[in-house]
Structure 1
Amino acid sequence: MNLLKEPITDQDLILKLIPQRAPIVMVDSLLYFEESKVISGLTVTEENMFVQNGFLTEPGLIEHIAQTVALYTGYHFYINNIPAPEGYIGAIKSVTIEKLPKVNMQIETEVEILQEIMGVTLVQGTTTLNGEVIITAQMKTVLKN
């Protein structure tokens, strides 16, 4: 069940939900949120530090999934009136990249929370471009104490 009344696209609020700051902000919208799933969006811009030759590179796609996890955690803390903690990528596996998005394209990433225990979150991330899956990855993130 989506716990968002409407998507969040206000950049000031997005920045309150994630610890990252320019030039490394890799999410620009929170589209869906529930206890075990989140969907974020990103419009790829020429200014993005992960853009090369007009395409968002592989590290950018992986960072986008990681920041979607951060957005999930941040929003979870936000709705409970608790400041969001910082976190780190602990491990990445089973990465499959089919395609790189071009500048001005909008990507959406769905992160399913597979397990959450003691500040470690295991997720399955799937990024789509116009409904086509372009990357899938499993990731573990760890909250900073």
Structure 2
Amino acid sequence: MNQFTEKITDKDFIGKLIPQKAPFVMVDKLLHFEDKKVIAGLTISEENIFTQNNKFTAPGLIEHMAQTVALYTGYQFFLKEEDAPVGYIGAIKKAEIIELPSVGNELKTTVNVLHDIMGVTLVTAETECNGKVIASSEMKTVLAN
């Protein structure tokens, strides 16, 4: 089982693990990785394209969850010494946004992988801010060929 306890906070390294590029990067740290689970973080900045009126918007939260899945996949490929694949959100079954976090806050998103077969990953995602759950979703991501 692949697992690590060291946090990865090097933004350049994180950038190599996901296909998204600035200004569209919505994860800036890998906090935990194991088979079927990943925890990623994001410090919300004023410059973020999903920040409006000092708040991080709902589309930003959804994209942050999706990029947490991309980080999970990208890190798996990194461990195999392969480039991170491009993927996209295939479907969002349900998404609940409870609260919009403010600039300067740290998001922590836990993704549990339910199924990962032939480039299709089905997950549940839960985003916390200041110790409380502010968003959750169930989504399917698909790797592009």
Instruction: Give the aligned partner of residue 81 of structure 1.
Output: 81
Instruction: Give the aligned partner of residue 116 of structure 1.
Output: 116
Structure 1 residue 127, shift from structure 2 partner: 0.1
Q: Which runs of 4+ in 1 moved over 6 A?
A: none
Q: Give % identity.
A: 60
SS at match of 2:45: coil
Point out where structure 2 has 5 or more consecutive residues left out of the alignment: none
> Does the 8 Å contact 1:2/1:32 carry over to 2?
no
Instruction: Give the aligned partner of residue 28 of structure 1.
Output: 28
Structure 1 residue 78, shift from structure 2 partner: 0.3
CA distance in 1, matches of 2:97, 2:68: 17
CA distance in 2, matches of 1:55, 1:23: 17
SS at match of 1:46: coil
Instruction: Give the aligned partner of residue 42 of structure 1.
Output: 42
How many residue pairs get aligned? The number is 145
Structure 1 residue 80, shift from structure 2 partner: 1.1
> Does the 8 Å contact 2:30/2:41 carry over to 1?
yes
CA distance in 1, matches of 2:16, 2:36: 21
What is the CA RMSD across the aligned residues, in angstroms? 1.0
SS at match of 1:27: coil
SS at match of 2:84: coil
Structure 1 residue 116, shift from structure 2 partner: 0.8
Deviations 1:10-65 (A, max 9, x none): 01100110000111100000000001000000000000000000000000000000
TM normalised by structure 2 equals 0.97
* Code of the aligned partner of 1:17: L
TM normalised by structure 1 equals 0.97
SS at match of 1:61: helix
Point out where structure 1 has 5 or more consecutive residues left out of the alignment: none
